[in-house]
Each structure stands twice: as C-alpha cells, then as structure tokens.
Amino acid sequence: MNHRRPLFITTAALIATGTLSACGGSGSGTTTSSSSSSTAASGGEQVAVTEPWVRATAPSATTAAVYMMLKSENTDALMGASVPSTVAASTELHETTSTSGTSTTSMSGGSTTSMSHTSTTAMLDMKQVMSIPLPAGRGVQLAPGGYHIMLMKLAKPITSGEQIPVTLRFAKGKTMTVTVVGRSE
C-alpha cells in the first residue's frame, strides 16, 4: 500500500561565503576561486587571465587603470606591462592603499579666535610597486582599490568598448598579450 502524498522539500542550502582574511600580509591580493573563463596564454604558459578591463576615461584624463584577475599555476610575479604607444607612453604597476585618517586642523588667530576643523576622510593613495606577487594556484585580483596597471600619459582617452592589447611581463621572463576592454564604471 502506497500513500502518495506530495513531498515538500525545503532546500535551505545557503552557502555562506566566508571572507578569508589574510592577516599580516600587507597588500596581499584577494583570493577568488574562479577557474572558468580564462584566457590561456600562448606557448603553454601557466598564468590565467580573467576578465581584463580598463576604466574608460574622461577627455582630460592622462592616466587609466587596467584591472584583471591573474592566476598562476606556479609561483610567479607580474613585473610589468606594455601597451602600444598609440594608447599610452608607458605603464606602471600600482597599488592603491586606503588610509582612513583623521586630520585635525587647528587655526589659532592672533586674537582670541580659535578654529578647529576635524575631518575624517578615506584617503586613497596610489604607490608604484616593482612587481605583483602571484602565489601558486591563488587568484590575485587587480581591482579598484588594490593592484592595477596604470597607463601613463594617455595618447587619447579610453572609450567604453575599446579594445587594447596589453602585454604582460612575468618574473620568469615570459610575456603574454591580453585584450583589455574599455568599460565605463
């Protein structure tokens, strides 16, 4: 005898995405496990590049930031990049660091007037880095607020949808060229 009754299954498979915080590592990249949609390097290289893009720029801009996800099978490092001179004169590897500091400016006038102005601002500082380390098997994100490739002295503004060949140079001497797409966001 079979009693057929509807069976309700409540699927509560909520995947809690934990944030791995790498303590003590200054400027370590965000780890993302995403192995799909990668651009394989030519010549059997072992660095995967995912979703390379460059921020579209205002007409007056002289620099532009290039972002992507890099994942190397072996320990490696991004040492530099280059673009055609019709795009930009040079490139630099940059890291954006935010220092949220409180700055207090006190002004004491000659008389009895005294003014104090306190402002809390998240200050974004970009500094040039000589290389971006790529730990074996770990994705390193070049993203807003972190590492990026800075195009210096733009020959012309970067437009949305524009495609730019960017040649990446790695520590072990290999190079690979990826197509970076302009995005306005």
Residues that bind Cu ion (CB under 5 A): 94, 126, 150
Residue 30: CB minimum distance to Cu ion, A: 17
DSSP string, 155-172: SS---TT-EEEEEEEETT
The span from the CA of 185 to the CA of 182, in Å, is: 9
* H helix or E strand, kind and range, residue 119: strand 114-128
The span from the CA of 137 to the CA of 146, in Å, is: 19
Helix (H, G, I), strand (E, B) or coil at 148: strand
Residue 43: CB minimum distance to Cu ion, A: 29
* Residue nearest Cu ion (C-beta atom): 94
Identity of the residue, 41 or 151, whose beta carbon is nearer to Cu ion in the bound complex: 151
Identity of the residue, 67 or 170, whose beta carbon is nearer to Cu ion in the bound complex: 67
Identity of the residue, 126 or 143, whose beta carbon is nearer to Cu ion in the bound complex: 126
Residue 113: CB minimum distance to Cu ion, A: 41
Identity of the residue, 92 or 162, whose beta carbon is nearer to Cu ion in the bound complex: 92
Return the structure tokens found at 113.
């007037």
Identity of the residue, 126 or 181, whose beta carbon is nearer to Cu ion in the bound complex: 126
Residue 65: CB minimum distance to Cu ion, A: 6
Residue 149: CB minimum distance to Cu ion, A: 8
Q: How far is CA 24 from CA 8, 9, 146, 168, in A?
A: 48, 44, 16, 28
Longest CA span, the chain: 99
